Amino acid sequence: MSRLRVRASGPLRGSVRVPGDKSISHRAVMLGALADGTARIDGFLNAEDCLCTARAMQAMGVDVEGLPETSLMVEGVGLSGLREPTGELDMGNSGTGMRLLLGVIAGQSFAATLTGDESLSGRPMDRIAAPLAEMGASVSGQGGRVLPPVTVRGGTLRGIEYHTPMASAQVKSAVLLAGLYADGPTTVVEPGPSRDHTERMLRAMGADVSIDGLTVTLRPGRELVARDVTVPADFSSAVFVLAAGLLTPGSEVTVEGVLLNPTRTGLLEAMASMGAVVSVSDTEQVAGEEVGNLTAREAALGGCELGGELIVRLIDEVPLLAVLAACARGTTVIRDAAELRVKESDRLAVMADVLGAMGADVTEHPDGLEIAGPTALRGATIHSHGDHRVAMSAVVAGLVAEGETVIEGAECIATSFPGFVTMMQSLGAQCVEEHD
């Protein structure tokens, strides 16, 4: 168990590069394993979530060299080369890894059981189980919402047209990955945009994928060809550094080489609506994705209303958005975010508690939060609830709070952002880690 002690800091200044993108790291090692040939992955996020996915591929017979470093060599076994694992696949805290692997294993000739930690064991898999069952796979778990441990038994799959009840890259990806093994085209239709990393990577590796607005169709029959991948810096990690720069007086911070995929950067639009000054520079294309440098400077923020498809594109950043809202003048309303109740924690309830403990005026709603600001935040003792984004959001709040903020259970940050504390210290943050 570890804790962080955070105090209000002077100006934060400097340029940093945060770890590789988590979403792309998961997909790079997974699709590399299913391809023909050898792929080099540079910039792999060697945090626990992605390491669990890599180890799961190893357990199914894939040679992954270089773990736990950031440069890997993946010797692909082809679409039909995976073998049955000898035990359960432990996915740790990784919902992405578990959900996407359910789609992959649905097309195999064997069964596998996927398990995880206490947090992941409370996250429902029914949204994945339903379309996979429609395709012909068997997916069983605990209770009506199919909680882990989850067992998936592959078989002969049929192509389907599936209309997702919500925009979800994890659901879409699981169905498309299963579609690689189907007897005909598989189509996913979403009500709004979601992350498109799976489609991009599949196309780059030779899969027959067509996109028409919110409809994605995969036609099976083509083998995947291994491609080297350079993983950009993770936008969802970069925003914690940027938010600290926006809120801390006199600050100017730059995060280099950040993924700028438009399905991921909704928080930049939300920040702009609040009056934030975040500039983009030195953009380039890397492995089919736009990347660039992001610079944030101290800014006076104002409240706004946020909902609809924008929330889908910033869903992981809502805890941090709530911190920004507490420091903004006026009322901020966040709606259409009920999905956050089944993440690593109930992020709506937890962030309402976190900010309430620090003196913020927060009202919790079934699908969001209403936050009146600005608040002179005060230090408090905060529990992470095992949620890395809650813990890092509390650090940002602590950097502008009066007194000391203590974040208990801070070891969860390593699931997505190894080196977070050291990086914040390098910029001038007063943040100290302690271990029991």
Q: Could you give the CA distance from residue 79 to residue 218 in angstroms, rounded to a whole number? A: 15
Instruction: State the residue for tokens 């955070």.
Output: 6
Q: Strand 186-189 vs strand 161-163: parallel, antiparallel, or unpaired?
A: parallel
Our answer to whether residue 316 is catalytic in this structure is yes
Residues 6+ apart with CB under 8 A from 172: 164, 188, 190, 194, 198, 216
Residue 306 sits at φ, ψ, to 5 deg, of -135, 130
Q: Helical H runs in 248-339?
A: 266-273, 309-312, 318-326
Q: Could you give the CA distance from residue 98 to residue 114 in angstroms, rounded to a whole number? A: 7
Q: Could you give the CA distance from residue 237 to residue 267 in angstroms, rounded to a whole number? A: 12
Q: Amino acid identity of 295?
A: T
Q: Could you give the CA distance from residue 156 to residue 290 in angstroms, rounded to a whole number? A: 38
Which of 49, 117, 316, 387 is catalytic? The answer is 316
Q: Quick one: which of 241, 299, 235 has its CA closest to 13?
A: 241
Task: Read off the tokens for 122.
Answer: 């409370």
Report the run of H or E that residue 369 belongs to, with start and end.
strand 368-373
Q: If 0-12 CB within 10 Å is exposed, 13-18 middle and 19+ buried, where does residue 14 land?
A: middle
Whether the Cβ atoms of residue 49 and residue 94 lie closer than 8 Å to each other: yes
Instruction: State the residue for tokens 């879409």.
Output: 172
Q: Could you give the CA distance from residue 427 to residue 398 in angstroms, rounded to a whole number? A: 15
Q: Amino acid identity of 155?
A: G
Q: Helical H runs in 302-387?
A: 309-312, 318-326, 347-357
Task: Read off the tokens for 223.
Answer: 């083998």
Q: If 0-12 CB within 10 Å is exposed, 13-18 middle and 19+ buried, where does residue 168 land?
A: buried
Task: Read off the tokens for 243.
Answer: 């938010």
Q: Could you give the CA distance from residue 265 to residue 267 in angstroms, rounded to a whole number? A: 5
Q: Helical H runs in 107-225?
A: 126-135, 169-179, 197-204
> Among all residues, which ones are annotated catalytic?
316
